[in-house]
Amino acid sequence: MTVRQGEGPPKASWIGTPQGGVGVPQPILMPDPATRFQRTATRLETLAPGHPMAEWLTFLAILSQAQQAAALVMGNRPVDPALTAKAVAAGMPPLAATRHRRDAVWRSALAQIIAQVEGHPGMPAAVVSVVGALGDSLVPDLERLADDFLCGSVTPRQAGPALFVAAALQVNFTCLAGGIAPSALALLAQRDSCPCCGSPPVAGVVTASGGTPGVRYLYCSLCSTAWNHVRAVCITCGQSGTLVLRGREDAGDAIKAETCDDCGTYAKVLYRSQDPDLDPFADDLASLGLDIMVSEAGWSRHAPNPLLMTGPS
């Protein structure tokens, strides 16, 4: 049975007796490209009013809507089951971001995103200039920029166009992941990496309902796949002795930074018991104040959010 993010959980099997057992969580949840970016856009629209970064979040909501339109056109993309099985047997993610052979369809997603953003009323001139220049770029230049983004080597000069390239690649990889059954995948030995594309997570979400409440899932920053990860264990180094949950006094208990003194990193943890409407992609972007707080205290983020790492200059 294929379980998609946002759907009701299946009946869990039990360890022990049904009256007092512990539900076994689904190890991997695949994204639904038909809803993934719309959920993020809606959440950003809710969070933006009154937020210190209201204009930025509103812009990201528009960008997420553009991603949603592109994802609906692209739909679930077929992935060769034989190649998937071969990669999984070798302990590798089948859509490994830095090795996956991209086809031209990702550039179609980019063109749609550019058209949607460029045509949106009231878009700042700086953004219109960036997407206009990007739309005129040659194919080899776009492919090099995509490679730079996927390899984590975007320069400050590339920041503006790289934001939109990142958005298009998220659509592309999410639609590819949507065509894979979770049963075809396996958790990687390196549990801080996505079992589908090998990218790092953007944040972790602790469930609040269903057959396995209280389970943590990490959400991939590129293909949107979610995978189970043990709680109270650092996702970077696997240690647990120095983990501390830290939050802002003015921000409630829905979003925390899990800091680790063993490796000096932190990762976001979102609690649906505190806010059932949390979206890992939107709420990570909206909680930049928490990142600033723990970064100034000396911890480094486990991995950047693709839409915070880059942006229009």
* pLDDT tens-digit readout, 24-82: 889 999 999 999 999 999 999 999 999 999 999 999 999 999 999 999 999 888 899 99
- Quote the pLDDT of residue 211: 74
Q: Output the pTM of the full model.
A: 0.90
**Domains assigned to the chain:** 36-177 (3.90.1670.10), 187-309 (3.90.1670.10)
Tokens of 241: 């002795």
What is the identity of the amino acid at 297?
A
- Quote the pLDDT of residue 10: 39
- Quote the pLDDT of residue 4: 64
Q: What gap in Å lies between CA 100 and CA 11, rounded to an integer?
A: 35
Region for 249 from its dihedrals, namely left if φ exceeds 0, alpha if ψ lies in -120 to 50, beta otherwise = alpha
Alpha helices in the chain (DSSP H): 36-47, 54-74, 81-89, 105-118, 125-135, 139-150, 159-177, 280-286, 288-296, 306-309
- Quote the pLDDT of residue 99: 85
Report the half-sphere exposure of 280 (CA within 13 A, side-chain side): 27
Query: Of 230, 266, 220, 238, whose CA–CA distance to 96 is shortest?
Result: 220
Q: Do 36 and 71 touch, CB atoms closer than 8 A? A: yes
- Quote the pLDDT of residue 281: 97
Phi, psi of 237 (to 5 degrees): -115, -10
DSSP code of residue 87: H
Q: Do 279 and 243 touch, CB atoms closer than 8 A? A: no
Question: Residue 145 contacts by C-beta under 8 Å, 6 or more apart in sequence?
Answer: 137, 154, 158, 161, 162, 165
Which stretches in the chain have pLDDT values below 50?
Answer: 1, 8-21, 310-313
- Quote the pLDDT of residue 129: 92
